[in-house]
Structure 1
Amino acid sequence: MNQAALTCTNIEVEFDGFKAVNGVDLTLDSGEVHFLIGPNGAGKTTLVDAITGLTRYTGSVTKDGTELRGKKVHHIARKGIGRTFQTATVFEHLTVAQNLDIAAGSGRSPWHLLRQRRHLPDQVVAVMEQIGLDGQAETAAGVLAHGQKQWLEIGMLLVGDADVLLLDEPIAGMGHEERDRTGRLLHDIAATRAVAVVEHDMDFMRAFASRVTVLHAGAVLAAGTVDEVSGDPRVQAVYLGSVQEQEVADAATA
């Protein structure tokens, strides 16, 4: 049985009287790739913002028995919760190795970080190989392909010892081969961590999800395995679309 890495209870986020997230319960387990899906405006990214301290909310988020609500963003990150954004955030003028070294050295002094290093830490070397960029160690991050930048950002979370990864549309703009490599990377990472993926791509979800939570209008519509969620009539009607609805839409287009 997998161990709960992060537990969200009755999360609510309100903007000017509008509930963007409405009573969401969510548990992320280590050993799983947990997909958060739903139509635009369903509250997926807002939920991630709440967990990581970027948005105020009511309810509870706990990790390892510690309540995270009200804590600063950097305190939450130090508890091992890392996130990516839809556009990769890397130091484009620094090399792949330097990006990872800086991310691994969050506890080191600025002077120590600026010193020329003869050897990279073993952890940086191992993660660089894990994300498939060991051949680009001295390549500036700014010239990497789109998918490689995403892998680098994920690697920066790994060397920072994040054990809960919240990834916002990590395959956006990727080609087929990059998507497959990303999916395999996520499964590799999830062997020892909890991975949550905010995603719209249903084929990617079906191929790589361990569990799925569907959000609609800020609330949990359905949760379970890929087969359970895909077979739920409510999900088909609201997000995936039923066969009948698609036929009507196709006829209207014709």
Structure 2
Amino acid sequence: MSIALSCKNIEVSFDGFKAVAGVDLDLSRGEVHFLIGPNGAGKTTLVDAITGLAAYTGSVVKDGEELRGRKVHHIARRGIGRTFQTATVFENLTVAQNLDIAAGAGRSPWTLLRRRRHLPQNVVDTMERIGLADRADTPAGVLAHGQKQWLEIGMLLVGDADVLLLDEPIAGMGHDERETTGRLLHDIAVDRAVAVVEHDMDFMRAFASRVTVLHAGAVLATGSVDEVSGDPRVQEVYLGTAKESADAATA
């Protein structure tokens, strides 16, 4: 697996408070890499830094290019896409139009909202991939919560993002939607790097290729699900104390 994005010694401070404190993180193609940790651990702030929404010190490199100091739109054009906890789609437009707009960075603005007789093949293929081919003409605003999240992921895919940073993508989803989302993440990670900010430990155990645990803005542990889950430091600050885990196992 090749490294798609390399972050070194990332620090983010707000009025003297270090929200992210010297984080190193490599995201590799072929992996679904989970970022977990307690509230306030710095997970979303780290994603904000990578995507240009928060000033930081350190280094973020993609394909040999240093991205620190670049504008948000430049970083997006370099193939780094993100989602938010609340899906940001054009609710009055159809699924197909949302994807067509996301795919149409090179088209003139007046053509973006025009209904086209034939959609680009990548839009058609992406609707199939995210499970919304039968909802092509459905306004995004009436989609179920999970479907909106899948549409937002699809918008990153048609925009040629090859590093996807997803902030709590299963929040508010039912069991079946969560399972579908997990399978989708593994499908798109075949030739991309996917990072997932998440609190749901069952989802993490089921679908993570690799896990990084953040605590107080710093990396506490990185490794496989088993390695991270078995780390006493992680058990103490996030998964419950080692004693509580032992007690639960013998109860």
TM-score scaled by structure 1?
0.95
Q: Distance in 2 between matches of 1:40 and 1:76?
A: 26
The 5 Å alignment of 1:13-92 reads: 13-92=12-91
Q: CA deviation at 1:107?
A: 1.8
Does the Cα contact within 8 Å between 2:59 and 2:66 map onto a contact in 1?
A: yes
Q: CA deviation at 1:15?
A: 0.5
Does the Cα contact within 8 Å between 2:232 and 2:242 map onto a contact in 1?
A: no
Render the CA deviation track for 1:45-85: whole Å, top value 9, x for unaligned: 00000000000000000000000000000000000000000
Q: Distance in 1 between matches of 2:155 and 2:185?
A: 14
Alignment correspondent of 2:152: 153
Pairing 1:228–2:251 present: no
Q: CA deviation at 1:246?
A: 6.8
Q: Distance in 2 between matches of 1:27 and 1:246?
A: 30
Alignment correspondent of 1:106: 105
Render the CA deviation track for 1:7-53: whole Å, top value 9, x for unaligned: 00000000011000000000000000000000000000000000000
Does the Cα contact within 8 Å between 2:84 and 2:166 map onto a contact in 1?
A: yes
Does the Cα contact within 8 Å between 2:97 and 2:113 map onto a contact in 1?
A: no
Alignment correspondent of 1:9: 8
Alignment correspondent of 1:251: none
Q: Distance in 2 between matches of 1:94 and 1:120?
A: 15
Alignment correspondent of 2:195: 196
The 5 Å alignment of 1:132-151 reads: 132-151=131-150
Q: CA deviation at 1:187?
A: 0.1
Could you say what the CA RMSD is over the residues aligned between the two structures, in angstroms? 1.3
Alignment correspondent of 1:171: 170
Render the CA deviation track for 1:161-180: whole Å, top value 9, x for unaligned: 00000000000000000000
Q: Distance in 2 between matches of 1:116 and 1:166?
A: 30
SS at 1:240's partner residue? Answer: coil
Render the CA deviation track for 1:139-173: whole Å, top value 9, x for unaligned: 00000000000000000000000000000000000
Identity %: 82
Alignment correspondent of 1:252: none
Q: Distance in 2 between matches of 1:95 and 1:150?
A: 14
Q: Distance in 1 between matches of 2:23 and 2:155?
A: 29
Render the CA deviation track for 1:108-159: whole Å, top value 9, x for unaligned: 1112223331000000000000000000000000000000000000000000
Q: Which runs of 5+ in 1 are unaligned?
A: 249-254
SS at 2:69's partner residue? Answer: coil
Q: Distance in 2 between matches of 1:63 and 1:243?
A: 38
The 5 Å alignment of 1:230-249 reads: 230-242=229-241, 244-245=243-244
Does the Cα contact within 8 Å between 2:166 and 2:194 map onto a contact in 1?
A: yes
Answer with 44-53 or 108-117: which moved more.
108-117
Q: Distance in 2 between matches of 1:143 and 1:92?
A: 8
Alignment correspondent of 1:180: 179
Which residue identity is paired with 1:109?
A: S
Q: Distance in 2 between matches of 1:205 and 1:91?
A: 29
SS at 1:42's partner residue? Answer: coil
Q: Which runs of 5+ in 2 are unaligned?
A: none
Q: Distance in 2 between matches of 1:35 and 1:148?
A: 21
Alignment correspondent of 2:218: 219
Alignment correspondent of 2:208: 209
